[in-house]
Structures are given as structure tokens and as C-alpha cells.
Amino acid sequence: MRSHLLLEQVQWKDLVQLGRTDVISELLISLPWLLVSFIFAGFQWYILALFCSFMFFLTGLRQVHNAFHFALGISRPATHWVMFILSIVMLGSMHAVQINHLRHHQYCMQEEDIEAKSATMKWWQALLFGPIFPWMLHKKAFEVGSKTQKKWMSAELVANVIVLFLVFVVLDISVLKYHVSAMLIGQCMTAFFAVWTVHHDTEDHIYMARTVRNEFKRVVTYNMFYHVEHHLFPAVPTRRLHILAKRLDEYDPTVEIRHVF
């Protein structure tokens, strides 16, 4: 009951709308990391390239996460195309991930919640579960998706196959091979970094999620770990979640904060 009273008190609707500068920033936020990762990979400075690829994957997840909730500040048709493009660049079908993510909000930590399967595991189990995780997401999405969603998913997976064929069979460009390999690794790490980190050991918590409060950690992770706030108000864009966090703390400072790190 207390959580419902809290939600009625907290102002959040003023955080939903994004200005033109915000929209442009959201649409381009991952591009610098992608370009720099290509540059470092081209010089074979792979340690630096991997760091930039990790940051690209993080910011790419921020983009698709907002896209899942149509919180990029653009039209719905344009949002679908953003997910399609990121499906090619990051691999996998982002429409398939969207289906499971919205079900995650609906059935959080329940049997039907495929996305949260790794949340109840040990950290090392979540890592080992990683390669199976994308397959489970796509399988479930094709089972429950609409005809339109299945068309998007099929198009994205076909595009993935074409990209993999071009990169590893037709073309001989080491930078592209590096990028695709890094994205494959990233997809296998999402069960740990995108799910376990924000949900582990929260089954008994009022919000069943974790969050952050440290300003430095907030900045370096691009607001991506404000998961309590996101679950409470999924329509609020990621770039505004730190504002929402302050409002939550103000209205109910008695709620225990379980930190991601």
C-alpha cells in the first residue's frame, strides 16, 4: 500500500517529454563510442577497443531500452526503424528483446518473465547462462509475438545473417570482424550485466530491483542502473531517471535502497 501511495505523490509526467536537443543526443549517444572502437581496432589496440565497444554496447542498450518504451522522443514508426538499425549493429532482434522486456514489466520475477531468468542465479551462473539467454528471448518472442512483430523480428534476423556472411565470408576487413565478435560477446553478457546486476537478491524487496545514488557512478553508466525508478515509471526516459530518483527519495526516504554497486 505504501508504494501505491508513493506513486500517487511523485511527479513524473513533466519528465517524459524530450526537447529537440535531447532527442538528437539520445539518437547519437552511442555513435562516438562505436567510431572510436573502430579506430582503436584499426590500430590493433584491442584493449582500448574493447573498452569502447563495451561503452558502445552500454549506450546502445540505453537507446533500445528507451525505444522499447517509445521514450526516444520520436514517432513510433521511426522508433521501430531505430530498433531495426541497432539490431544490425548490435546483433540479434531488438523487437524480440522488446517483447520480453515488456513482459518483464508485466510479470516481473514470475515464471512468465523470461528476461529475469538469471536474476535468481549466482553471479557465476548468470555468466554461464549468457549464451543461452539470447536464444531463449528470441524463442519466446516468436511464440507470443504478433504478426507485425514477427515480421520485424524475421527481417532483423535475416539482416543479421547477411551481416555475418558478408563480414566472415565475403569481406576481409579485420575491423568489422572485431566489431561483430565484440557484439557477440556483448549479447552473451547481457544476462549478467543487464539483468542479474539490477535484480539479484531483490525478491523480498518492495520494488524487486536495485538502483544507484552515487553521482560519479551515475555519469559513467549513463543512468542505466536506475532500475527501481525505471520499473516504477517506465515512460520516463533514461536521461531523466536521476531526477526521478531524487523525487522518490524526497517523498519516501524510509524505503531501503539496494545498490547495484
**H or E element, residue 88:** helix 76-90
Burial label for 147, CB within 10 Å (0-12, 13-18, 19+), is exposed
- 8 A C-beta contact, residue 117 and residue 191: yes
Q: What separation in angstroms does the CA of 195 have from each of 16, 114, 135, 211?
A: 24, 11, 15, 12
CA dist 239 and 241 (Å) reads: 6
Beta-bridge mates of residue 211: 259
Model pLDDT, residue 1: 34
Mean pLDDT of the chain: 94
CA dist 170 and 123 (Å) reads: 39
Give the tens place of pLDDT for each residue, 154-209.
999 999 999 999 999 999 999 999 999 999 999 999 999 999 999 999 988 778 89
pLDDT under 50 in the chain at which residues? Answer: 1-2, 4-5
Write the CB contacts of 240 (distance below 8 Å, at least 6 apart in sequence): 15, 16
Give this prediction's pTM: 0.93
